[in-house]
Amino acid sequence: MTTLLEVSGVSKSFGVKVIDNLSVSVSEGDAVGIVGPNGAGKTTLLNLIAGDLHPDTGSITFDGHDITGTRADQRCRAGIGRTSQIPRPFEGMTVFENVLAASVFGAGFPLSEAEATELAVASLTTSGLLGVANMRAGQLPLLGRKRLELARALGTSPKVLLLDEIAGGLTEAEVLELVETVKQIHADGVTIVWIEHIVHALLAVVDRIMAMSFGVKIAEGDPHEVMASPEVQEVYMGVEPE
């Protein structure tokens, strides 16, 4: 397995250290889960990988290139797709236009309008939003918004998909639906890095889990072993009632 994403010795501080000398390696085809209590730095890590933030120290390589200094839009075109914990829909545009924008600008290779449409339709189909394609994105309920995040990320034809608490706030049935969708995306060959509090959703998809606390990695490995490890039990289960 070739390494797709390599985070080496990355630190980020906002007055306090949010990420402290953290390294993680993701190979092509992996499905990695990231767990940790609130404030552990999970979303910050995702923002560093996606380019919304830049690390104070350390480097990030993707697909063989050092991308530490590149912008978010460049990383997207290079193949890093992401969903946000708080959905960022283009509310005045239709669901279809949202995903089309992702395909047109994010795919990283020039597409004709017909090709971009095809890619957008495929992403909408996978995410279960094809039926409401012409609805204003602002009118979508929460599940719809989460699905739109997914559809837009898929629309950029990512090599790696970064998911940030995509199951959070959904009903049990909705979570199960979403798990099936993510499974399918992974089966289609997309590498997955997934931050999630809902552990059973994570366990259904990922083959490795990294646990974080206060910006450092405290455990990494087989999902069940990591979740059962005393370090994780101590910091994670103690803080998170769910």
Partner 1 sequence: MSEYRISRSTPESRGGVAFFAALTLVLFTLPWWDGDGSLRTPLVIVLLYVALAQMWNLLAGFAGLISIGQQMFVGIGTYGLLTFAEEWGIDPYLSVPLCGLVAALVSIPVAFFNFRLVAGYFAIGTWVSAEVIRLLVNDSGSLKGGEVRSLTRESLGGYAKETRDNVTYWLALALAVGATAIVVFVLRSRVGLALRSVRDNETGARGLGVDVTRTKALIWVIAAFWTGCVGAVLLLNAPSATSTSAFSVLSWTALVIFMVVIGGNGSTTGPILGVLVFWFLDEQLADQDTWRFIILGGLAAVMAIVAPKGLYGLLQQWKPLQFFPVRRRLIGPGVDE
Residue ranges binding partner 1 (CB under 8 A)? 50, 52, 71-73, 76-77, 82, 84, 88-94, 96-98, 100-102, 104-108, 113-114, 117-118, 120-121, 125, 130-135, 152-153, 155-156
As measured in angstroms, the least distance from the Cβ of 118 to partner 1 is 5
- Cα–Cα distance for residue pair 137/130, rounded to 1 Å: 13
Which residue, 157 or 229, is less far from partner 1 as judged by CB? 157
Which residue, 130 or 199, is less far from partner 1 as judged by CB? 130
As measured in angstroms, the least distance from the Cβ of 156 to partner 1 is 6
User: What residues form DSSP beta bridges with 3?
Assistant: 27
Which residue, 84 or 191, is less far from partner 1 as judged by CB? 84
Contact 52, 72 (CB under 8 A): yes
Neighbours of 172 (CB within 10 A): 11
User: What residues form DSSP beta bridges with 209?
Assistant: 33, 221
- Cα–Cα distance for residue pair 22/57, rounded to 1 Å: 10
Which residue, 133 or 235, is less far from partner 1 as judged by CB? 133
As measured in angstroms, the least distance from the Cβ of 95 to partner 1 is 9
Indicate the SS3 state at residue 159. Answer: coil
Which residue, 35 or 166, is less far from partner 1 as judged by CB? 166
As measured in angstroms, the least distance from the Cβ of 192 to partner 1 is 17
As measured in angstroms, the least distance from the Cβ of 80 to partner 1 is 9
**What strands, in cross-sheet order, belong to the sheet with 31-35?**
80-82, 160-164, 191-195, 31-35, 208-213, 216-221
